[in-house]
Each structure stands twice: as C-alpha cells, then as structure tokens.
Chain A
Amino acid sequence: GAVVSQHPSWVICKSGTSVKIECRSLDFQATTMFWYRQFPKQSLMLMATSNEGSKATYEQGVEKDKFLINHASLTLSTLTVTSAHPEDSSFYICSARDASTQGGTKDEQFFGPGTRLTVL
C-alpha cells in the first residue's frame, strides 16, 4: 500500500519557538494533502487542506498565521507551528490523496504515523 511518512515522530520545544513538521508521500504523488490535530481521547480534527503549488485552505477556527502550511512539491507538505504554546501540544497527523486515483472510485487517503508535539 501507499506510504506516508512524517518527521519528526515526536518533538519537545520551549514555548515561543516554532516547530516544522514534514509530511511525505513515499511511493506516490499527492496533489492534495491534509493536516489534522488530535487531542488525547478525542477524534481527529481537520485543520487544513494543502494543494500543491497553491495556498492552503484552512478550516473555520484554525489560525492560518499560526499554522503555516507549504506544499511545494507533489510529495512534500510541511506544517509549521509558529510561536508554539503549551495549548498547541497535540498529535499532528497528515494524510495524502494519491493523484492517480483522486476523484475516482479508488479515491482514498493515506495517513502518516503522526507527530507528537509537546510544548513546555
């Protein structure tokens, strides 16, 4: 099956610093990637949709200036949490849609293993 990787798998940072999380599709091209966050014991919450070569579309209530998303290639999207604070501590998960099946009956999303962010 298609593989999506995330780096780092976990990160601890001080309050006020910025953290970048990478999401890569390893064996397929992804014109669309998604970023989610998940707090303990809760479901995944969609933060934004990232389209290659264009600006990300953010869900209501998600601060675009705080969560910077870049999707510069068909295999890489990055999420930067700027000026992180303890309330940003969460499990961040990306997913990617295979461009070759996007929009068809085989359309599915492949998820990365997640990045656990802890802000002290």
Chain B
Amino acid sequence: DAKTTQPNSMESNEEEPVHLPCNHSTISGTDYIHWYRQLPSQGPEYVIHGLTSNVNNRMASLAIAEDRKSSTLILHRATLRDAAVYYCILYYTDKLIFGTGTRLQVFP
C-alpha cells in the first residue's frame, strides 16, 4: 500500500493559519490525495482531496507539490473546533488506509 508520513502532532493558536504537511514519495500516478479529520470519539470527517492541482473548499485548502510527493493541508484560520487528528491518505484500490495522522492542538 502506498504510505504517507505525517508529523505526530502540531500546535497552533486560534485565528492563525495552520499548515499540515504530508509526505507520500511512493505515490502512483492515479492515487488521489485525501484528507480526513477525526474529532475525539467521533468517526472521521472528509476534509478535502485532490489529484494534481491545488484545491480549495469551505473547510481548507490543499497544496500539492509539483512532483506530487508531498502535500500540505492549509487551515486558513484555526478555531478550537479544528482540534482533531488529521489523516493524509492515498486513495488506493478504493480503500482508505489510515496512517497515524497528525494530532492538531489549538490554543485560545
């Protein structure tokens, strides 16, 4: 399975932008890059996904490196509700294989 590497944890202050990195050096040409997040004691929630071009939606932006070996999830203004574990996943043979993710702490 294609693997992703993320920092175990990151911290941010409220109202500040957050850049969550993800390395996926073994990505194949057809793998989509998906981001999900999981709030405590809840199921994961879809955040954003992309293939080659940068993507924006109401929750976040996704910046994808030109060689597609890394990507960055951008939360433009962190809120306390954004505290969660963020998972970067390569969509592989229709299955989402979760890595360890990045635990984001947001401080008021």
Q: Chain A residues in contact with chain B, CB under 8 A?
A: 4, 6, 32, 34, 36, 43-46, 49, 91, 93, 95, 97, 105, 107-114, 116
Q: Are A108 and B49 in contact (CB under 8 A)?
A: yes
Query: Which residues of chain B are within 8 angstroms of A97 by Cβ–Cβ distance?
Result: 94
Q: Are A93 and B44 in contact (CB under 8 A)?
A: yes
Q: Are A111 and B87 in contact (CB under 8 A)?
A: no
Decide if the interface of chain A is mainly helix, strand, loop or mixed.
strand
Inter-chain CB contacts under 8 Å: number: 48
Decide if the interface of chain B is mainly helix, strand, loop or mixed.
loop
Known: A43-B87, A43-B100, A43-B101. A111 touches B95 (CB 8 A): no
Q: Are A113 and B97 in contact (CB under 8 A)?
A: no
Q: Tell me the minimal C-beta distance from B90 to chain A in angstroms.
A: 13
- For chain B, which range describes its interface: under 10, 10 to 19, 20 to 34, or 35 or more residues? 20 to 34
Q: Are B97 and A93 in contact (CB under 8 A)?
A: no
Q: Tell me the minimal C-beta distance from A54 to chain B in angstroms.
A: 14
Q: Are B46 and A113 in contact (CB under 8 A)?
A: no
Q: Are A112 and B43 in contact (CB under 8 A)?
A: yes
Give Cα A92 to B94, complex, Å: 20
Give Cα A6 to B43, complex, Å: 10
A-B contact pairs, 26 of them (CB 8 A): A4-B43, A32-B94, A36-B98, A43-B87, A44-B44, A44-B98, A45-B98, A46-B95, A46-B96, A46-B98, A49-B94, A49-B95, A93-B43, A93-B44, A95-B43, A97-B94, A107-B32, A108-B34, A108-B49, A110-B46, A111-B36, A111-B43, A113-B43, A114-B41, A114-B43, A116-B41
